[in-house]
Structure 1
Amino acid sequence: MTQRRVAMLGGTFDPVHLGHLRSAVELRELLSLDRVHMVAAGVPPLRGEPRVTPEERLELLRLGIGDTPGLVADPRELRRDGPSFSADTLASLRQEYGAEARLVMALGHDAFLRLADWHSPSRLFELAHLVVIDRPDFKAPLPAALVELIRGREVDGVETLFEAPSGGLLRVALPTRMAISATDVRHRLASGATVRYLLPESVEERIYERKLYLVQ
């Protein structure tokens, strides 16, 4: 029996842009995933920046995804009280899909470098595999605590990773690297500069319709 392959791709999506969405599509293709849960974080870590409500970010995410096969705008962190720890979100997904499902948490290289400082980082591997979207321009050595955390976990291919439900680490390079920053998008919106071709048209239209992000 072939087990389901499911990924969690978290973010503030403030707002969702084409880089987020293209990465999700390419992850799904590369890992042959059944579903990618794009999980909107409840509280953005940014300060001093223009913000919209979590509900509005989720609505923009849903608009951006549209009818894209296999992508889901997941509200579970917005519905949970208290801090939104990734381990708790993975535990919820694990309960939903069962003990044998192949569950993945995908994260970017910058987040990966800080992984040892996360809440219960070892629990992440108990619940899921980690797939790191590599930065080809990054050559510096990994922090010592991170090296210890991932010791013996790294594999060199997708099928090897999915021999077990969880516990592995795979680094991948996605074919399309869209250097789009949500921070830059917000600054462009606030300054009146165009964001055409940075956002899905439906997201751009809703932002202007609701006058989101348009005030410094």
Structure 2
Amino acid sequence: MERIGILGGTFDPPHLGHLLIAEEVRLAMELKEVWFIPTYTPPHKDAAKTNADERITMLRLATDSNPFFKVNTIEIERSGKSYTLDTIKLLKKQYPEKEFYFIIGADMVEYLPNWYKVEELFALVNFVGVKRSGYKLNTEYPVTEVDIPMIDISSSMLRKWLRDKRSVNYIVPDSVNTYIKENHLYEN
């Protein structure tokens, strides 16, 4: 059975932290691929600052150089708020020959008790947690921990930097940085 990593998020914008997490988990867990699944409207956050097409384009630009990374638009196609349970059920139905590993940061590990039907979700998918500055991976749930180099980057920090006209060189892939500049994203 093929082992596939799932990295969900708003990716507004995607950055090197996302790519590092995906690659480190892929190697540690011996995954065939990692699928990046951008949310349409995240259930636990405000709406994205850019539209779905812009986020998909940036994510494709960010992942294009790695043959083990794929962009899956299942949640964008459904539109509205997406719950991980609904996404995993649909993926398991579409790809019954694959075993899925859902990758989350330590901030989300702490939030797991608040997830929609979390017990049912754990029966369907393997969780992989990665460390994040300021958070611990303490949980009663079965989450496999993968150590990754600590890079304290967040999309919200990058949006602020971009609004302040601060450089994001070396924090987002060059192709994403060019796209952001050409399309005047995150300027206000």
1:123 equivalent to 2:120? Answer yes
Q: CA deviation at 1:70?
A: 1.1
Structure 2 distance, partners of 1:43, 1:23, is: 22
Structure 2 distance, partners of 1:139, 1:128, is: 21
Cα pair 1:106 1:130 within 8 Å, conserved: yes
Q: CA deviation at 1:101?
A: 3.1
Aligned residue runs from structure 1 range 152-191, under 5 A: 154=142, 169-174=143-148, 176-191=149-164
Q: Deviations over 1:139-159 (max 9, x none)?
A: 69x5xxx53xx2xxx4xxxxx
Aligned residue runs from structure 1 range 50-61, under 5 A: 51-61=49-59
**Residue in structure 1 matching 2:87, options 73, 86, 89:** 89
Cα pair 1:37 1:73 within 8 Å, conserved: yes
The residue that corresponds to 1:104 in the other structure is: 101
Greater Rg, structure 1 or structure 2? 1
Count of residue pairs the alignment pairs up: 187
Q: CA deviation at 1:128?
A: 0.8
Q: C-alpha root-mean-square deviation of aligned residues, in Å?
A: 2.0
Local SS of the residue matching 2:167: coil
Contiguous gaps of at least 5 residues in structure 1: 155-168
Percent same amino acid at aligned positions? 31
The residue that corresponds to 2:71 in the other structure is: 73
Local SS of the residue matching 1:79: helix
Amino acid at match of 1:102: E
Residues 208/112 of structure 1: CA separation in 2 closer, same or farther (3 Å cut):
same
The residue that corresponds to 2:166 in the other structure is: 193
Amino acid at match of 1:101: K
Moved over 4 A (4+): 44-47, 135-140
Residues 50/4 of structure 1: CA separation in 2 closer, same or farther (3 Å cut):
closer
Local SS of the residue matching 2:77: coil
Amino acid at match of 1:173: D
Q: CA deviation at 1:76?
A: 0.7
Q: CA deviation at 1:135?
A: 4.3
Q: CA deviation at 1:93?
A: 1.6
The residue that corresponds to 1:33 in the other structure is: 31
Q: CA deviation at 1:46?
A: 4.3
Structure 2 distance, partners of 1:102, 1:201, is: 33
Output the TM-score relative to the length of structure 2.
0.91
Q: Deviations over 1:60-82 (max 9, x none)?
A: 00011113121111111011043
Local SS of the residue matching 1:19: helix
Cα pair 1:134 1:173 within 8 Å, conserved: yes
Q: CA deviation at 1:13?
A: 0.4
Q: CA deviation at 1:134?
A: 2.9
Q: CA deviation at 1:187?
A: 0.8
